[in-house]
Amino acid sequence: MQGAARQSLNGGAERGPAGVSVALDGSSLDGKGPLFGQIKRAVAGQILRGRWQAGERLPNEEQLSSLYGVSRQTVHKAIALLAREGFLVRRRRAGTFVASVRHDRFALPIEDIGDVITRNGGVYEFRILDRKTLRNGEGLRWPDVPDGTPLLSLDCLHLGDGAPIQYERRLVNLDAVPEVVDEPFDSVAPSRWLVDQVPWSSAEHTVKAVNATADLAALLGVEPGTACLSIRRQTVHLNRCITLVHFLSVGDRFSLSGSSITDSATELNL
Partner DNA sequence: CGGCCAATTATGTACATACATTATCGTCGC
Partner DNA sequence: GCGACGATAATGTATGTACATAATTGGCCG
Residue 234, beta-bridge partner list: 204, 244
* Nearer Cβ to DNA (59/251): 59
Quick check: 75 and 39 in contact, CB under 8 A? Answer: yes
Tell me whether strands 124-135 and 202-211 are parallel, antiparallel or unpaired.
Answer: unpaired
95 near DNA (CB under 7 A)? yes
Shortest Å, Cβ 102 to a copy of itself: 7
How would you class 237 by CB atoms within 10 Å of its CB: exposed for 0-12, middle for 13-18, buried for 19 or more? middle
> Between residues 86 and 137, which has the closer beta carbon with respect to a copy of itself?
86
Q: Residue 193: CB partners within 8 Å, gap ≥ 6?
A: 180, 183, 185
6 binds, among DNA, a copy of itself, none (CB under 5 to 8 A by kind): DNA
Does position 246 interact with DNA (CB under 7 A)? The reply is no
Give 163's Cβ-side CA count (13 Å radius): 11
Hey, CA dihedral for 215, 221, 224, 226, is it positive or negative? negative
Comparison of 39 and 189: residue with beta carbon closer to a copy of itself = 189
Residues that bind a copy of itself (CB under 8 A): 47-50, 54, 101-112, 115, 195-196, 199-211, 225-230, 233, 237-238, 249, 251-252, 254-263, 265-266, 270
Residues that bind DNA (CB under 7 A): 1-2, 4-6, 9-10, 34-37, 58, 60-62, 70-74, 76-77, 79-80, 83, 90-96
